[in-house]
Chains A and B, each alone.
Chain A
Amino acid sequence: MRREARRTGVFTRRALFVLGGQAGLLGLLGARLYQVQITEGARYATLARQNSVSVRMLAPPRGRILDRFGTLLAGNKQNWRALLIAEQTRDIDATLDRFSALVPLDPRERARIRRDVSRQRRFIPVLVRDFLTWDQMAQIEVNAPSLPGIVVDVGETRTYPLGPMLAHVVGYVAPPTPADVEEDPTLALPGMRIGRTGVERYRESALRGTAGAVQLEVNAYGRVIRELARQEGVPGEDVELSIDATLQQLAMERLSAERSASAVVLDCRSGEVMAMASTPSFDPSLFDTGVSAAQWRAWTTDPGAPLIDKATVGLYAPGSTFKMAVALAALRAGAITPQQTFFCPGYFELGKTRFYCWKRGGHGTIDLHGAIQQSCDVFFYNTALHAGIGRIAAMGHSLGLGTTLDIDLPAQATGLIPTRQWRRAHGHPWTLGFTVIAGIGQGFVEVTPLQLATYAGRLASGRAIQPRLARRIGGRALSPGAGSGTAAEDWPLLDVAEPLLDAVRRGMFAVVNTPQGTARASALPAALGVHMAGKTGSAQVMDVSRAQRKLGFHTSGLPWRFRPNALFVAYAPFDAPRYAIAVVVEHGNEGADAAAPIARDLMAAALTRDPANRTLPPGAVAAAGPGAAT
């Protein structure tokens, strides 16, 4: 019995020990649970929410681009798409067979669909075909019961109703690159596009809008269980341009007769761009869906360079259109007076080098007025030497030439007016010969058509206007000037005395409106009752030797690509300037023949339509009635 008691005692002690151990271990588990659930609970709870809440963004519709009268320049078109949800059909092939009967699918497409289906989870829609026509859509909808798994939805694509007409100004959009997506994850959304050129690019932030978001509860496989919250996106803002689509169309029509040309029409009070054309052009909507290799090759090998906006990045020697800048540089410095005369024997000699006037016999004794009117080169060789290249460059810059403009576009060429410093920086000495030929806008001088139009506008207004494209964004007016207000008077005055400007302007008047003027054939129609002031230019693109001149050389006999560029700058009305214009016809020979008539027609149209003074296009009230765009 004692032995039995001992055994029982040992059992009881050890059982209690085991019980204690169990209690201790369970206690540890409780403590561990407290640590995981409470102490570190917040951290794990956050992880839990990240686990189960998936934020999906909603693509915002891209803002439209409109002209000054509300004409649609860039908008969004609904893109009807057919999608396949694999888990909703038992037999994918049978569904695709029946779909093919309505909308034929070629074997390559079917192979792609099958591949996409096998790569995705079965509840994720796979694109079958996009850009369906309305008829195809209707057929699919009607036959929906026999097409299990096929759903249709509508996406958006960018559309440019005017196509090539404004391709360079408006620009185009394309699918974003991975680098773009890194910058803004919104761009990862299907259907999102990013502006690549023109206004589409410059106003990208306004046009893009803000993505909306839905918070979805998803399970471990990514399937959506329910929608938790929804925040609607903010659509991109509409951008209203100062462009007058009708005037633009006219410019394109007139320019397209030439192989390669550009024209810019500005409101010379506000700087607003009324038209900015460059031919040849391209269809911007092709970039949205992808450009074929053949198309791309055609564009890049075309000598007219259709993808290049010649108005803003085309660089041309201004030729004789530069003479007003040369004259003003000398006038302001007091190097010449408005009454100054020089003798033109048909050439100008600097040391042993002879510089010719375009008129072989020479102009004889000629004053500033006559030199502008008849574009005497020798007068400006002399004037340039009197002024000096430094003053010419400074005056050119202040008139908007060879300098960066404040245009609201992503790309522009700066151009150049050479100086001694510039030449020295390139390791060469400056010689006076460079100054002489700069006097007629040749040599190193390079400007863009937009700069030429700005130049004409500044000469006309006497103010340092800057060209601007956007008038309103999201309905809010943009201030036109660098100043605070919205009036044209906000542009600062040029640092040139008004009488000096007038002397030059009178010369420009004579170019168009007198019998000796180089552009006498391009005067405005008398019916308009106003006059245009302008200046022709014809800039050589190759050197012409003395021997060639003796042989009666004429540029019109040259192959196209060696002919001089034809230029014309102008403004009107002469006594109350409103519009400034620049036309450049590549290899058009004489500015008076090739460029001035185009400028005259555009100016006449601008004055007739007078877009700068209207809020509605002519006839809009009658045609569109109440509620028309403002």
Chain B
Amino acid sequence: MTERRLSDRGLGDRGLGDRGVGGRGVGGRRLLRAAPFDVLAKLRQLNWAYVLLLCALAGVGYAALYSVGGGSPHPYAATQATRFAIGLVLMLVVALTDIRFIARLAWPAYGVALALLAAVERFGHVGKGAQRWISIAGIDMQPSELMKVALVLALASWFHRASWERVGNPLFLLVPALAVAAPVGLILKEPNLGTAVITAAIGGAVFLAAGVRLWMFALALAPIPLVARIAYGHLHSYQKARILTFLHPERDPLGAGYNIIQSKIALGSGGMWGQGFLHGTQAHLDFLPEKQTDFIFTLIAEEFGFVGALAVIGLLALIIAGGMLIALRCRNQFGRLLALGLSVNFFMYVFVNLAMVMGAIPVGGVPLPLVSYGGSAVLTVMLGFGLLLSVDLHRDVEFPAADLT
């Protein structure tokens, strides 16, 4: 039955969908026990165009890391390719998982992520001036990255069962508001202002899409200037330095402003057509800091010029728009919200990283997903894309709110 529904997608799917959920919550279990045919059918139905976009982005990352390595797959590009391969498998497994099963796992996942985030405060080790990393089974990871995905899952699950009227009720919003506030507070305590703001923004986007009334947003956003002023007083000195450096990078060209100035110099050195692959002088002569991680886009822009950099931005835009399109095409609220939240998450990564390397916002230690070197980020991002593809694959599944209780 499920197989036929999937193959007949696009015609009279409403009815088929209705029949599809006839099993009342057992569909997920069925899928888990599904025969290999089901898996093959799902694989055929998978949004391969989207997978191809992701592979293209990883290819860009491979080329850039190959260049960072001085024209060699070592030490970065090869490792990163292996990680991407692992991530790809993870993504496909998640993509084939039934959306209802995922929905049921939303709150438990949120709980685990929050626990990890709390643990990082106690046991995490210092990296780049803040406690952000934790080692689990030998893998360094940033719980805050996992938290963003778990938060989107939890919020999508919460609002899935909410009607338009219920969303208008402020009391109904108390739980999701707390679900956002708890991780944001913990991340702020790490302290990682950038990720906290991004996490809050993702939460806000899901709230908005879920139909929370606009006047509530106005009410929530109004006191921000005041809060920001008070918060600035409580910022760590390195965070203040970042903001001051951003406002006046020439203030301290060899110190805090060095990264921004060198990044701009490298971008300018690229010009319209670039210095050529493997010929970016600034990056290869080590003037450009963190070129394999945060500033990898600068290296691309220096070697391939404005044209190449714009092409990469175009590719990123396609991936973001593709995610939003998946959200718009989805027929169930959980999938819609999940896809939108994940797309916003990816967009925030991209925007913060690019704006940072162009000197448009304060430097924040945010990598460019799938392009920057780093293991934990690849897995988290691929987990997100797995969920996104699962939403796409199960976009016609309708499951009532009761399924989640």
Q: State the A residues within 8 Å of B (CB).
A: 3, 6-8, 10-12, 14-19, 22-23, 25-26, 29-30, 32-34, 36-38, 40-45, 47-49, 51-52, 217-221, 225
Q: Do A51 and B264 touch (CB < 8 A)?
A: no
Q: Give chain B interface residues in 264-303, CB to chain A under 8 Å.
A: 264-272, 281-282, 284-287, 301
Please pick, from A11, A25, A26, A42, the residue contacting B209 in the complex, using a CB distance under 8 A. Answer: A11
Q: Complex formed: what's the CA distance from A218 to B284 in Å?
A: 10
List B contacts of A15 (CB < 8 A): 209, 324, 327-328, 336, 340
List B contacts of A36 (CB < 8 A): 264, 267-268, 358-359
B309 part of interface (Cβ distance < 8 Å): yes
Q: Do A33 and B268 touch (CB < 8 A)?
A: no
Q: Complex formed: what's the CA distance from A12 to B301 in Å?
A: 35
The 27 sampled A-B contact pairs (Cβ below 8 Å) are: A3-B163, A7-B333, A8-B333, A10-B164, A11-B210, A11-B336, A14-B208, A15-B324, A15-B328, A15-B336, A17-B208, A18-B208, A22-B320, A22-B344, A25-B347, A25-B351, A29-B358, A29-B360, A37-B301, A37-B305, A44-B264, A44-B266, A51-B285, A51-B287, A219-B285, A220-B285, A220-B287
- The number of inter-chain residue pairs (CB within 8 angstroms) is 142
Q: Complex formed: what's the CA distance from A245 to B344 in Å?
A: 90
Given A15-B340, A30-B313, the answer on whether A37 and B359 have CB atoms closer than 8 Å is: no
Q: Do A37 and B336 touch (CB < 8 A)?
A: no
B26 part of interface (Cβ distance < 8 Å): no
Given A15-B336, A22-B320, A38-B306, the answer on whether A48 and B268 have CB atoms closer than 8 Å is: yes
Given A26-B313, A33-B306, the answer on whether A48 and B269 have CB atoms closer than 8 Å is: yes
Q: Do A225 and B285 touch (CB < 8 A)?
A: yes
Q: Do A51 and B313 touch (CB < 8 A)?
A: no
Instruction: Give the Cβ gap from B217 to chain A, nearest Cβ, in Å.
Output: 11
Give the contact-size bracket for chain B.
Answer: 35 or more
Interface centre among B320, B337, B354 (most CB of A within 10 A): B354
Interface centre among B211, B272, B359 (most CB of A within 10 A): B211
Q: Do B333 and A11 touch (CB < 8 A)?
A: yes
Q: Complex formed: what's the CA distance from A32 to B360 in Å?
A: 8
Q: Complex formed: what's the CA distance from A219 to B333 in Å?
A: 54
Instruction: Give the Cβ gap from B36 to chain A, nearest Cβ, in Å.
Output: 35
Question: In the complex, what residue of chain A is closest to B302 when comparing beta carbons?
Answer: A48
Question: In the complex, what residue of chain A is closest to B317 when comparing beta carbons?
Answer: A26
B32 part of interface (Cβ distance < 8 Å): no
List B contacts of A38 (CB < 8 A): 271-272, 306
List A contacts of B241 (CB < 8 A): none
Q: Do A33 and B164 touch (CB < 8 A)?
A: no
Instruction: Give the Cβ gap from A174 to chain B, nearest Cβ, in Å.
Output: 35
Question: In the complex, what residue of chain A is closest to B336 when comparing beta carbons?
Answer: A11
Question: In the complex, what residue of chain B is closest to A7 when comparing beta carbons?
Answer: B164
Please pick, from A18, A23, A43, A44, the residue contacting B344 in the complex, using a CB distance under 8 A. Answer: A18
Instruction: Give the Cβ gap from B151 to chain A, nearest Cβ, in Å.
Output: 17
Please pick, from A8, A33, A218, the residue contacting B285 in the complex, using a CB distance under 8 A. Answer: A218
Q: Do B310 and A33 touch (CB < 8 A)?
A: yes
List B contacts of A51 (CB < 8 A): 262, 265, 281-282, 285, 287
Q: Complex formed: what's the CA distance from A11 to B360 in Å?
A: 31
List A contacts of B186 (CB < 8 A): none
Q: Do B324 and A48 touch (CB < 8 A)?
A: no
List A contacts of B167 (CB < 8 A): 7
List A contacts of B163 (CB < 8 A): 3, 7
B355 part of interface (Cβ distance < 8 Å): yes
Q: Give chain B interface residues in 249-272, CB to chain A under 8 Å.
A: 262, 264-272
Please pick, from A10, A16, A217, the residue contacting B281 in the complex, using a CB distance under 8 A. Answer: A217
B205 part of interface (Cβ distance < 8 Å): yes
Q: Complex formed: what's the CA distance from A304 to B305 in Å?
A: 75
Q: Do B324 and A19 touch (CB < 8 A)?
A: yes
List B contacts of A32 (CB < 8 A): 355, 358, 360
Q: Do B268 and A23 touch (CB < 8 A)?
A: no
List A contacts of B354 (CB < 8 A): 29, 33
Q: Complex formed: what's the CA distance from A221 to B285 in Å?
A: 9
Q: Give chain B interface residues in 193-235, CB to chain A under 8 Å.
A: 205, 208-211
List A contacts of B211 (CB < 8 A): 7, 10-11, 14
Q: Complex formed: what's the CA distance from A3 to B164 in Å?
A: 7
Q: Do B287 and A52 touch (CB < 8 A)?
A: yes
Instruction: Give the Cβ gap from A81 to chain B, nearest Cβ, in Å.
Output: 30
Question: In the complex, what residue of chain A is closest to B331 when comparing beta carbons?
Answer: A8
Given A26-B317, A33-B301, A219-B286, the answer on whether A45 and B324 have CB atoms closer than 8 Å is: no
Q: Complex formed: what's the CA distance from A109 to B403 in Å?
A: 84
Q: Complex formed: what's the CA distance from A40 to B306 in Å?
A: 12
Interface centre among B262, B271, B359 (most CB of A within 10 A): B271
Q: Complex formed: what's the CA distance from A40 to B324 in Å?
A: 34
List A contacts of B360 (CB < 8 A): 29, 32
List A contacts of B115 (CB < 8 A): none
Given A11-B209, A37-B271, A37-B306, the answer on whether A3 and B165 have CB atoms closer than 8 Å is: yes
Please pick, from B164, B208, B286, B358, the residue contacting A221 in the complex, using a CB distance under 8 A. Answer: B286
List A contacts of B262 (CB < 8 A): 51
Q: Do A52 and B282 touch (CB < 8 A)?
A: yes
Given A32-B360, A33-B313, A41-B271, the answer on whether A48 and B305 have CB atoms closer than 8 Å is: no
Q: Do B309 and A37 touch (CB < 8 A)?
A: yes
Q: Complex formed: what's the CA distance from A37 to B310 in Å?
A: 11
Question: In the complex, what residue of chain A is closest to B353 when comparing beta carbons?
Answer: A29
B126 part of interface (Cβ distance < 8 Å): no
Question: In the complex, what residue of chain A is closest to B207 when comparing beta carbons?
Answer: A14
